Amino acid sequence: MQQRKVLLDCDPGHDDAIAMILAWGDPRIDLVGVTTVGGNQTLDKVTRNALAVATVVGMHDVPIAAGCPRPLVRPTRIAPECHGESGLDGVDLPEPVVRLDPRHGVDLIIDTVMAHEPDTITLVPTGPLTNIAMAARKEPRIVERVREVVLMGGGCHVGNLSAAAEYNIAVDPEAAHIVFSEDWPLVMVGLDLTHQALATDDVVSRIAAVPGPVSDFVLGLLAFFRESHRIAQGFDVPPVHDPCTLAYLIDPTIVETVPVPLSVELTGTHTLGMTVADFRSPAPPDCRTRAATRLDHHRFWGLVVDAIDRIQKEGR
């Protein structure tokens, strides 16, 4: 089986936690590192959350390192309205037994990319892009070595932090600009796609049908996420954004993408942090950016359910 080597850069966060679980539980993903970034909550909190999630799923041999606490230029902007005061409200978090890697997250990204063969490491950012931008600036050679950047962020026709901009991009638009401009293949798994990843009642039943501690944990996450999204964003059932990145890597027929030039708005009064997709004409043959468009909802959640089941049965 062809495995994809993935470094997950995240800010757990309910949907980040489910992305960790999918990355850990699916045999087609080889999770080689996890880095955290200030985003949904403060860096201290999201890092503790990452270690707690790793403890829940028994992820003992994957380095986890804390990265940047705040955006490159702008002030921190956390999201307690979606993720609560802890960043993972709704579940009892265990005291982490998984230890933090002593390296800075940016250095773990660089070390990982430089230590592996070129074209083997895929970066999967599911938070603000601060760490990835810093890594590209600190060690520019990573850009030609990374196989692909598959990020959750942005959107072609929709925002959530503002009418035009999605949270991960809008929180650190300068970092996003760096990441979108570097010469690596990039897939934007944006809100157009992730708003299809709804945790419906049927999804909750499917997760409940594989009972165990990880299933209980995910059900707790989804229950809180449902209520917070109902209040904060008017959703009946919540979109679970971040694991869609992994689904694309596991099986691109589950997450359809199209090539399209993408850029990040840095100066707009009403559009700061918007990802601008240029659909005016067919993308040029050398276009290295893609946007996700359509999700196979049933099969996507099947991946998540299978990952939960596998972790409970096999330890992963």
> What are the catalytic residues?
241
Mask for 240-279, x = binds Ca ion (CB under 5 A): --x-------------------------------------
* DSSP secondary structure letter of residue 257: E
C-beta closer to ligand BDR: residue 15 or 182: 15
By CB under 6 A, tell whether 16 contacts ligand BDR: yes
Question: In this chain, which of 6, 7, 16, 172 binds Ca ion, going by CB under 5 A?
Answer: 16
C-beta closer to ligand BDR: residue 47 or 168: 168
Question: In this chain, which of 150, 152, 189, 222 binds ligand BDR, going by CB under 6 A?
Answer: 152
By CB under 6 A, tell whether 225 contacts ligand BDR: no
By CB under 5 A, tell whether 13 contacts Ca ion: yes
Separation of alpha carbons 23 and 13, rounded Å: 15
The pair of structure tokens assigned to 56 is 């829940």
* DSSP secondary structure letter of residue 148: E
Separation of alpha carbons 214 and 210, rounded Å: 9
Q: Where are the beta strands (DSSP E) in the chain?
A: 4-10, 29-36, 64-66, 121-125, 148-152, 186-189, 255-259, 262-264, 275-277, 289-295
C-beta closer to ligand BDR: residue 89 or 309: 89
Pairing of strands 121-125, 148-152: parallel
Q: How far is the CB of 91 from ligand BDR (least distance, A)?
A: 15
Mask for 109-128, x = binds ligand BDR (CB under 6 A): -----------------xx-
- Is omega for the bond preceding 155 within 30 degrees of 0, making it cis? no
C-beta closer to Ca ion: residue 13 or 154: 13
